[in-house]
Amino acid sequence: MIIQQKRRLLPNGLLAIKLPKVNIYLLINKGAFLIPSKDETTSNVKQQIIQAAIQLFAEKGYYKTTTAGIANAVGVTQPYVFHFFRNKEQLYLAVLEQAIRRVFQAL
């Protein structure tokens, strides 16, 4: 049996591999396997959703961006996006909050 994997190189140099059937992320760093805690994985996925939303809102605008498109960009299901955000408006507010935080950090 071949398991399809989604791979993503993270900014910190780790390679994240998602095993979809078991919903586990493996992080690979120079050949060592690390299995993050559930809290770390959840936080990372939430941040990935926000990052994908930032990119898609910037490219397509609020009305043409769908939560399904954001979920697809991250490699999760649309209901999983709604696990973190009640609706698209709440996700957009999280994007704005992060942008405001970055502006204040730059000052």
DSSP 57: H
> When comparing pLDDT for 15 and 90, which is higher?
90
In this structure, are 1 and 44 located in the same domain? Answer: no
pLDDT digits (tens, 9 = 90+) for 49-89: 999 999 999 999 999 999 999 999 999 999 999 999 999 99
In this structure, are 42 and 5 located in the same domain? Answer: no
Report the distance separating Cα 44 and Cα 58, nearest Å.
Answer: 21
Where do the DSSP E strands lie in 2-95? 6-9, 15-19, 24-29, 32-34
User: Is 92 a residue whose pLDDT tops 80?
Assistant: yes
What pLDDT band is residue 40 in, cutting at 50, 70 and 90? low
Range of the domain at 20: 1-36
Structure tokens at 107: 């000052």
In this structure, are 54 and 83 located in the same domain? Answer: yes
Contact present, 25 and 36 (Cβ < 8 Å): yes
Give percent above pLDDT 90 in the chain.
Answer: 48
In this structure, are 60 and 91 located in the same domain? Answer: yes
In this structure, are 69 and 99 located in the same domain? Answer: yes
Quickly list H helices, the chain.
38-60, 67-74, 78-84, 88-106
Q: Domain tally for the chain? A: 2
Listed residue (28, 58, 6, 23) closest to 50, CA to CA? 58
In this structure, are 48 and 99 located in the same domain? Answer: yes
In this structure, are 63 and 42 located in the same domain? Answer: yes
